[in-house]
């Protein structure tokens, strides 16, 4: 007894891998998705079509068709052999990424791996439920494993990493790895270290806001201006009361640049001045020396003061006016 389903091939279905949805749908342009779906349709029926005809069929410019073919080729979804385009087996690709054969293992390693895998599985399940509604893409499993092995983060830190990216609507591999790399460079491994990092980071953000306000800057600081503040606070270790001395001393200068302020603060750092008292004492000493020298050289050649600046008495000759104020 034979059974057959009487369905017209015109209304048959196309098998769309779920991996395509989880891995490519959110990143590919809409026109590129149209191209992929029609190629999938053609593959099922062993169809042939030229790029010009594909352009007409999908009502897309030929340039878009060519760009889409290049995009899918770059993504390893499509490949070309002679005059034939081949669609990759996306499911097999994911299996190949995840499969790591290991032929032998010691009993001690097996026990450690078992214990580690229990907590690792719990962490992965938590990430899957919290950020992917239970349908996490298979490639994320590989990426999570990479984060653990490369950065040696605690489980709580990995969850915090996903939360950080999700809060910024940037839960993608490139951004997540960039953040993870930044945390690792800041020597973050445990959740306690991460909390301390957040505390320093929040203080730094508040410092930048305060500096902007004191300089009358209403816009957001540029990347380069923020780098200067990072240098003063993180590298030099200066608190706001020291930095504010430089800010106050620039009020007589029209539109003081961060470069100018940085020269002042860098001068203090290289002189090993650390506290507000040390900086103020140095400034008063410099002011007194310069006034005395000016009084002694009244009526001499105009470049005498410049020679004084260049003689080693001051590291930056363009700071003369600063120390005279």
User: Is the domain of 121 the same as that of 24?
Assistant: no
Q: Are residues 210 and 305 in the same domain?
A: yes
Per residue in 153-183, pLDDT (tens digit) is 999 999 999 999 999 898 998 999 999 999 9
- Can you give the pLDDT at residue 232? 92
Question: What's the number of domains the chain is made of?
Answer: 3
pLDDT at residue 313 greater than cutoff 90: no
Residue 101: predicted pLDDT? 47
For residue 281, the model assigns a pLDDT of 92
Are residues 122 and 90 in contact, defined by beta-carbon separation less than 8 angstroms? no
The predicted model gives 189-197 an average pLDDT of 92
Above 80 in pLDDT, residue 261? yes
Query: Within 10 Å of residue 230's Cβ, how many Cβ atoms?
Result: 14
In a domain, 103, yes or no: no
In this model, does residue 68 exceed pLDDT 70?
A: yes
| 49 and 132 belong to one structural domain | no
The kind and range of the H/E element at 86 are strand 84-87
Domain that holds residue 76: 10-94
pLDDT for position 160:
94
Distances (CA, A) of 319 to 51, 78, 207, 271, 274: 66, 62, 24, 14, 19
73 vs 36: CA distance, rounded Å: 11
Q: Is the pLDDT of residue 131 over 70?
A: yes
Predicted local distance difference test score (pLDDT) of residue 5: 47
Q: Are residues 167 and 60 in the same domain?
A: no
Asked, for residue 104, whether it belongs to a domain, the answer is no
164 with 79, same domain: the answer is no
226 falls within a domain: yes
Tell me: do 185 and 199 sit in the same domain: no
pLDDT digits (tens, 9 = 90+) for 272-291: 999 999 999 998 888 888 77
Looking at the domain assignment, is residue 278 inside a domain? yes
Pick the most confident of 2-6, 119-123, 249-253: 119-123
CA atoms within 13 A on the CB side of 37: 12
Q: How far apart are CA 321 and CA 310, in angstroms?
A: 14
Q: List the CATH number of the domain containing 29.
A: 1.10.10
Last residue of a domain, one of 189, 222, 250: 189
Q: Is the pLDDT of residue 103 over 50?
A: no
166 and 266 share a domain?
A: no
Residue where a domain stops, chosen among 162, 189, 216: 189
222 shares a domain with 116: no
Q: Are residues 280 and 305 in the same domain?
A: yes
Residues 176 and 199 in one domain: no
- Whether 4 maps to a domain, the answer reads no
Q: How far apart are the first and last CA of the chain?
A: 105
pLDDT of residue 255: 65
- Statement: residue 3 has pLDDT above 50: no
Query: How far apart are alpha carbons 114 and 131 in whole angstroms?
Result: 25
Q: Where does a domain end: 36, 64, 94?
A: 94
Kindly tell me if the per-residue pLDDT of 13 is higher than 50.
yes
Eight-state DSSP code of residue 317: G
154/125 same-domain check: yes
Task: Please give the residue that has the higher pLDDT: either 22 or 1.
Answer: 22
**Residues 201-234: pLDDT tens digits?**
888 889 999 998 888 888 888 888 989 998 998 8
Q: Find the helix or strand (DSSP H, E) in which 84 lies.
A: strand 84-87
β pairing state of 84-87 and 78-81: antiparallel
For residue 204, being part of any structural domain is answered with yes
**Cut 0.75: pTM above it:** no
Decide if 1 is inside a domain: no
The answer on 207 and 288 residing in a single domain is yes
Residue 303 has pLDDT above 80, yes or no: no
Q: What is the mean pLDDT of the chain?
A: 80
CA-CA distance, 298 to 292, in Å (whole number)?
10
3 located within any domain:
no
Nearest one of 88, 60, 62, 61 to 74, comparing CA atoms: 88
């Amino acid at each position: 007894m034979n059974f057959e389903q009487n369905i017209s091939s015109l209304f048959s279905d196309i098998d769309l891998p779920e991996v395509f949805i989880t891995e490519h749908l959110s990143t590919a342009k809409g026109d590129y998705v149209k191209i992929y779906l029609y190629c999938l349709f053609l593959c099922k029926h062993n169809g042939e079509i030229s790029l010009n005809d594909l352009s007409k069929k999908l009502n897309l410019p030929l340039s878009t068709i060519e760009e889409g073919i290049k995009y899918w080729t770059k993504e390893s979804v499509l490949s070309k052999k002679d005059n034939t385009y081949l669609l990759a087996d996306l499911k097999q690709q994911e299996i190949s990424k995840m499969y790591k054969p290991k032929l032998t293992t010691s009993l001690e390693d097996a026990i450690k791996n078992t214990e580690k895998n229990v907590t690792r599985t719990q962490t992965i399940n938590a990430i899957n439920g919290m950020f992917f509604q239970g349908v996490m893409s298979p490639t994320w499993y590989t990426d999570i494993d990479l984060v653990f092995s490369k950065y040696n983060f605690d489980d709580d830190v990995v969850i915090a990493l996903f939360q950080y990216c999700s809060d910024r609507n940037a839960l993608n591999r490139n951004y997540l790895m960039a953040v993870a790399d930044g945390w690792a460079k800041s020597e973050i491994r445990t959740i306690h270290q991460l909390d301390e990092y957040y505390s320093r980071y929040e203080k730094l953000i508040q410092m930048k806001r305060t500096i902007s306000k004191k300089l009358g800057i209403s816009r957001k600081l540029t990347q380069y201006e923020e780098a200067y503040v990072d240098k003063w606070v993180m590298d030099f270790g200066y608190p706001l009361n020291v930095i504010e001395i430089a800010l106050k001393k620039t009020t007589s200068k029209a539109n003081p640049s961060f470069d100018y302020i940085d020269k002042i603060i860098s001068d203090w750092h290289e002189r090993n001045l650390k506290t507000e008292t040390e900086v103020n004492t140095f400034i008063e000493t410099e002011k007194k020396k310069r006034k005395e020298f000016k009084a002694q050289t009244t009526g001499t050649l105009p470049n005498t003061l410049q020679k004084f600046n260049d003689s080693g008495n001051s590291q930056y000759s363009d700071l003369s006016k600063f120390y005279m104020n």
